[in-house]
Amino acid sequence: MNRMTEAKQEYLSIPIPQELSERVKLEVERAEKKRRFSLMKKRIVSAAAVVAVLFVTGLNTSEVFAEEMSDIPVIGTLAKIFTFRSYETETEDLKISVEIPGIAVIAEDLQDLEEEVNEDIYAFCAQYAREAQGRAEEYRQAFLATGGTKEEWAAHEISIRVWYEVRTQSDRYLSLVVKGAESWTSAYSEDRYYNLDLETGKWITLRDILGDDYAGIVRRSILAQIDQIGQKRAEDVADYWPDQWQGIDEDVNFYINQAYNPVVVLEKYEIAPGAAGQLEFEIRKED
């Protein structure tokens, strides 16, 4: 059983609270009154309910939801992207802030893609928030066990944040990243990238964009960019490890920028010291 199937079964097995059911019912009734995009709006409400169930039951804290979903910007004529305005939960020890994206499509032949992407996003957000909360509790226990006080712990203002950023949206392409981060450490931050072709209804890979030699093209481009950096600022070339870098594989993170070029994202320590953080390299197709 794969991760996506397990996540789907997990949230389908969770009972929906009464107040959430009433809210979903209200939203559905509103959607049915509008002729344009009525099917899309029903799907949006359904997806929003799934997200709420995941976090209401997954976090043992006090939840606060926004009154409505945010405005729904159009992605061409094929799809829309939506989000809750906010999801927040806060105790004296921890603050969690979550913004969860989802896509809703008009075309019938894209609905399998919609379901697959939304399930993956929901699973990632739920898992990251749950695991980050566990790490925060372990950190708290260790802090108190080594002499720290509750007042000192509260002063840390520990927080967990999950949010998203749209990198490109057009009639054909949607590229976004869902990000998770924790205020007390950078070691556990995580990003999930989604690159979609809305005409074909498929996930986009570097092979689709650059061809079968995508790994070689990316390697040559990144090494050339590092060399150019070294020529401009000789003191910075030592910040990279080109001789130790083994290149990319098919699982490398990337997004599509506004020029419709892929931007490869290398994690800390891949090609430079950890202090450099994530490094991004645009791979121009004309090169």
Residues 194 and 217 occupy one common structural domain: no
Residues 218 and 98 occupy one common structural domain: no
Last residue of a domain, one of 203, 221, 237: 203
Last residue of a domain, one of 148, 178, 203: 203
Please indicate, yes or no, if residue 16 is contained in any of the structural domains: yes
pTM for this structure? 0.71
Please indicate, yes or no, if residue 7 is contained in any of the structural domains: yes
Distance of alpha carbon 77 from alpha carbon 109, whole angstroms: 14
Can you give the pLDDT at residue 88? Answer: 75
Last residue of a domain, one of 203, 227, 259: 203
Can you give the pLDDT at residue 208? Answer: 94
Q: From first to last of the 287 residues of the chain, give the pLDDT tens digit.
A: 555 555 545 544 544 444 444 544 444 444 444 444 444 444 544 554 444 444 444 433 444 444 344 445 555 556 777 775 456 777 777 888 888 888 887 777 788 888 899 899 989 988 998 899 898 889 889 989 999 888 888 888 888 999 999 999 888 889 999 999 998 777 788 999 999 998 888 999 999 999 999 999 999 999 999 988 766 655 554 578 888 898 999 999 999 999 999 999 999 889 988 888 889 999 997 76
User: What is the domain extent for residue 175?
Assistant: 3-203
Helices 111-145, 38-58: inter-axial angle, 10-degree rounding: 20
Provide the total of helices (H) and of strands (E) in the chain, helices listed first.
7, 13
182: which strand partners? 160, 185
Burial 57-94 (b: 16+ CB within 10 A, else e): bbbeeeeebeeebeeeeebeebbbbbbbeebebeeeeb
Please indicate, yes or no, if residue 152 is contained in any of the structural domains: yes
Residues 142 and 111 occupy one common structural domain: yes
Residues 232 and 197 occupy one common structural domain: no
Q: Going edge to edge, which strands form the sheet with 262-266?
A: 253-256, 262-266, 279-282
Can you give the pLDDT at residue 254? Answer: 98
Which CATH number fits the domain that encloses residue 76?
3.30.565.40
Can you give the pLDDT at residue 78? Answer: 66
Nearest to 193 by CA among 211, 178, 172: 178
Distance of alpha carbon 230 from alpha carbon 218, whole angstroms: 18
Instruction: Map tokens 């899309």 to a residue.
Output: 40
- Integer distance in angstroms from the first to the last C-alpha of the chain? 41
Can you give the pLDDT at residue 41? Answer: 45
Residues 73 and 123 occupy one common structural domain: yes
Please indicate, yes or no, if residue 107 is contained in any of the structural domains: yes
Residues 150 and 126 occupy one common structural domain: yes
263: Cβ–Cβ under 8 A, 6 or more apart, which residues?
167, 254, 255, 256, 257, 280, 281, 282, 283
The number of folded domains in the chain is: 2
Please indicate, yes or no, if residue 287 is contained in any of the structural domains: no
Which CATH number fits the domain that encloses residue 272?
3.90.640
228: Cβ–Cβ under 8 A, 6 or more apart, which residues?
none
